[in-house]
Copies of this chain bind each other. A is one copy, B any other.
Amino acid sequence: MRIAIQGELGAFSHEAALRMVPRCTVVPCARSAEVFDRVARGSVGGAVIPIENSLAGSVAEHFDLLLSRDVFVQSEFQLRIVHNVIATPGVKFADLRRVFSHPVALDQCREFFRRYPKIEPVAFYDTAGSVKHVVEEGLRDAAGIAARHAASVYGGKILKAGIEDNKQNFTRFFFIRKIRQVRPRANKTSLAFSVKNIPGALFKALSVFALRDISLSKIESRPVRGRPWEYVFYVDILRGEDEAARNALRHLGEVADLVKVLGVYPTAQGHKGQ
């Protein structure tokens, strides 16, 4: 299956795509809107998109696109973000004087730069792109910091693995398709709803879950563009398509202006605190 991602080949999204859809062919896209448009018009079988990071928070643009485009979440996945120093083959670690990467990645590897003060961190616009640059230019004193997969994509060599300061660095990904499909053992539902005039309305909206003992694992408000005092709420509930969830969604329809189920899927194993 052809799977669109936002960003360069070798990016963390590429790694997540291979884990979520084994043997897929990854189609890199420059922009997120392009990723969603390709899925909606069927020029790819699906897409794998980051939705939130445990350190950096939600990817707001992707929530907005899930709401506005005709796509459905099929599964979720938690990827541990592991940063690696990747250089041109033949270059030794002792040769390194500069290491390129995206500023966020450099900032997540401060301990590494403290331990090796001869190596200067240099900001680059992309993690996988930094490895591509170093290898294509054949630089002898430089490396990039990126996902392990960037090494195989661009023919680089990993000189040091796992240099990130915080091991609690996870990104949650969604696999989205055009068709509405619910896997067996789906026990989590992502939905969006809008209400006017908080809090009366928000409190009522949340009561539809509380009254049925349905747990939430995420809630987030987003202002509606150009409409002050109107909000969209993104909520994850820990239920699949059972009777309680159906009743709650019907009840929610009575109190909210708009309700959209973004996907129903099995909870990702492992890191649950998302």
Copies of this polypeptide in the complex: 2
Q: In the bound complex, how far is the Cα of B225 from the Cα of A222, in angstroms? A: 23
From B123, B199, B210, B226, A209 is in contact (CB under 8 Å) with: B199
> Does A265 have its Cβ within 8 Å of any Cβ on chain B?
no
From B56, B200, B219, B222, A60 is in contact (CB under 8 Å) with: B56
The smallest beta-carbon distance between A157 and chain B, in angstroms, is: 25
From B54, B124, B197, B230, A225 is in contact (CB under 8 Å) with: B54
Q: In the bound complex, how far is the Cα of B238 from the Cα of A202, in angstroms? A: 15
- Is the pair A230, B198 in contact by a Cβ cutoff of 8 Å? no
Chain B residue at minimal CB-CB distance from A62 = B57
Given contacts A55-B60, A57-B61, A221-B219, contact A203 B202 (CB under 8 A): no
Question: At the interface with chain B, which of A85-93, A256-264, A266-274?
Answer: A266-274
Interface size of A as a range? 35 or more
> Does A254 have its Cβ within 8 Å of any Cβ on chain B?
no
From B59, B102, B168, B218, A57 is in contact (CB under 8 Å) with: B59
Chain B residues with CB under 8 Å of A107's CB are 31
The smallest beta-carbon distance between A243 and chain B, in angstroms, is: 18
From B209, B215, B230, B273, A273 is in contact (CB under 8 Å) with: B230
Q: What 0/1 readout, one digit per residue, does chain A (222-243) give for beta carbons within 8 Å of chain B?
A: 1111111110010000000000
**Besides A220-B221, A223-B273, 13 new A-B residue pairs in contact (Cβ under 8 A), listed by A number:** A56-B60, A57-B58, A57-B61, A58-B58, A168-B225, A198-B216, A198-B217, A199-B209, A199-B214, A203-B209, A219-B220, A224-B273, A230-B273
Binding site for B on A (CB under 8 A): 31, 53-61, 63, 102-103, 107, 123-126, 168, 197-200, 202-203, 206-207, 209-210, 213-230, 233, 271-274
